[in-house]
Amino acid sequence: MANVVVVGAQWGDEGKGKIVDWLSEQADVVVRFQGGHNAGHTLVIGGKVYKLSLLPSGVVRPNKLSVIGNGVVLDPYALAGEVERLAEQGVSITRENLRVAENATLILSIHRELDALRESGSAGTKIGTTKRGIGPAYEDKAGRRAIRLMDLADLGSLPEKVDRLLTHHNALRRGFGLEEFSPKAIYEELASVAPKVLPYMDAVWRLLDDERRAGKRILFEGAQGALLDVDHGTYPFVTSSNTVAGQAATGSGLGPGAVGYVLGIAKAYTTRVGEGPFPTELFDETGELIGQKGKEFGVVTGRKRRCGWFDATLVRQTVRTSGIDGIALTKLDILDGFKTIKIGVGYRLDGETLDYFPASQGAQARVEPIYEEMEGWSGSTAGARSWADLPAQAIKYVRRVEELIGAPVAVLSTSPERDDTILMKNPFEG
């Protein structure tokens, strides 16, 4: 039995929630390895709706161990809040079912404020972030001045660490003409939340390796999508973590061999929230219709998502940068009823044809998509549970997508209901 990593193969919001939930049922351990509470998904289990942003999906199921790895940036207040909300829904979260890496970086109020300030426009660096403080927290981690979870267990030496952090942040504040942060207030912010989060702290690298050696099945749950990866995405319009599958190892403290089968999730069309290039974006009524049918509004921020045709060139690239073994193609039913459907198959740039997405920001903004047009289908794919239920043209579309992206469709999702799924391959079976 392989372990499985699930990653978004586009710009996030690919419908990972349903697939991760289905896989988490078969897993013993579910691990988050990057991002933070900028992610958001809704799980519907036994008629109950659970909204998660920081906790791994396995947490709502009994007898699963959920792990937040070192690659995650952890807002301790968001964690405590999510734990409390779930408790109100009857889900008990204890050290028995949740562990958090002792070396995870903390998101503090200063990070949220800086994120919001940069996004306000006055600082001239708008990315369209979720304003959760994700970017500034990762900056402090790389800058070697971050406060980490384990620091809350040693309150005696915390003031010194807070001072080091504020030397940097208060210089920025002065530059922006803002009042400086008080070390005492930051210390108190941390000291008061410590008892709520410390009970979950652990050496996650060791725990996960023990679980792996004991033959437990591990599901690595990625957040966002490969095109938001800080290295491989549409930089600078990206999140601040590595979102590709390789991060599952680094962000949890295991070797790359432990990761196993890589399942990429892709929507049958494309969406994006926030700023940045999007070659197949639609600005017409077709785009509006896709957005309405697909209910394309963000779970975390409620923002309307930009919509466009499936861009096979981009997904082919993420198949390669994440080493994707198979794709779960979601929301095929949203394309039901379109007379014609387009697929982006390459780009035109300055009179040349490209079969990849160039890395430079300027080129990414200027490429024009080359489309292949296919006849749509009039029948419905919604709720289909076998190939035989699908209109012939829909099957043709899926087959063409596979051909263009260079990866097989392992799972086809035809509605938000968990049973409305066509399974070609169980990723846990390798």
Between strands 326-330 and 261-267, the pairing is: parallel
Q: Shortest approach of ligand IMP to residue 184 CB, angstroms? A: 28
Q: Shortest approach of ligand IMP to residue 373 CB, angstroms? A: 28
Pick 228 or 343: Cβ nearer ligand IMP:
228
Pick 35 or 346: Cβ nearer ligand IMP:
35
Has 332 been labeled as part of a binding site? Answer: yes
Q: Is the peptide bond before 358 cis (omega within 30 degrees of 0)?
A: no
- Which pair of tokens denotes residue 31? 């691990």
Catalytic residue (choose from 13, 21, 311, 325): 13
Catalytic residue (choose from 37, 41, 131, 342): 41
* Catalytic residue list contains 141: yes
Positive or negative: CA dihedral 209, 261, 217, 223? positive
Binding site for ligand IMP (CB under 6 A): 11-13, 38-40, 127-130, 132, 134-135, 223-224, 228, 237, 239-240, 273-274
Q: Shortest approach of ligand IMP to residue 10 CB, angstroms? A: 9
Output the residue with the shortest Cβ distance to ligand IMP: 274
Pick 11 or 347: Cβ nearer ligand IMP:
11
Has 299 been labeled as part of a binding site? Answer: yes
Q: Shortest approach of ligand IMP to residue 224 CB, angstroms? A: 5
Has 144 been labeled as part of a binding site? Answer: yes
Catalytic residue (choose from 131, 141, 232, 342): 141
Has 413 been labeled as part of a binding site? Answer: yes
Pick 31 or 134: Cβ nearer ligand IMP:
134
* Catalytic residue list contains 202: no
Q: Shortest approach of ligand IMP to residue 75 CB, angstroms? A: 12
Has 40 been labeled as part of a binding site? Answer: yes
Has 14 been labeled as part of a binding site? Answer: yes
Has 305 been labeled as part of a binding site? Answer: yes
Phi, psi of 37 (to 5 degrees): -90, 20
Pick 38 or 170: Cβ nearer ligand IMP:
38
* Catalytic residue list contains 425: no
Has 421 been labeled as part of a binding site? Answer: no
Pick 24 or 53: Cβ nearer ligand IMP:
53
Annotated binding site for substrate: 299-305
Residue positions forming the annotated binding site? 12-18, 38-42, 130, 144, 224, 239, 299-305, 331-333, 413-415
Binding-site members for IMP are 13-16, 38-41, 130, 144, 224, 239, 303
Residues annotated as catalytic (active site), given as ranges: 13, 41, 141
